[in-house]
Copies of this chain bind each other. A is one copy, B any other.
Amino acid sequence: MGSNRKQETSEKLMIAAIDLMSEKGYNGVTTEEIARTAGYSEKTLFRHFQSKQKLLEAAFEKYHYGEEMRNLFHQHLQWDLQEDLLMVCNTYHKIMQQNRKMILIAMKDGEHLPGFREATHKHPEQLKAFLTDYFEKMLQKKKIIKVDPEKMAIAFLYMNYGAALGRIHNDPSFTTVYLEDFIKESVFLFTRGLTP
């Protein structure tokens, strides 16, 4: 398999690009530095990807896990507030953790990743719609008190979004408090706040 080796090189280059760009940003890193980090010469980088921009785009295509967000929607809802919220939390944080370097790049250099700017808006929007719908149905089932479902969805998601970003940025809060404990406590709070 001649193409096996070629692919391996490409992957190493893309991973080096992601690592370095997530730290220093697109403009903060040179093609030379990326290639050396991956263990190759700069020339090889340009032979595989024609430009720095295309390298990033290829890396994004290969190493972003946008689709997995959809899995969440297909998970089985138990219509038990605590259980369902826990499931949403766990799935969400797993995806955020997988994508953390990409998220950093997108925050630093959104302009260079048109696809990502879109994704960072689209996916949370879908998630918000999903949760809003869930709260509405729970309201119909009289399993939660009368609240604005959309605002509750936003509050819940932002809490997890904030926590995920904190973890990505190595917030010292997560050195003493573990994510799982945090999730349990916060879901408990939401459950108690919403249960009739």
Q: Which residues of A contact B (CB under 8 A)?
A: 24-25, 27-28, 107-109, 111, 120-121, 124-125, 128, 145, 147-148, 150-152, 154-155, 157-163, 165-166, 169, 171-173, 176-177, 181-182, 185-186, 188-194
Contact = CB atoms under 8 A, between A and B. Distances in A.
A189 B147 contact: yes
A20 to B, nearest CB: 12
State the majority secondary structure of interface residues on A.
helix
Tell me how many chains of this kind the complex includes: 2
Contact of A173 (B128, B166, B182, B186): B128
Contacts of A173: 124-125, 128, 154
Contact of A159 (B120, B124, B148, B155): B155
A181 B155 CA distance: 11
B182 A189 contact: no
A190 B159 CA distance: 12
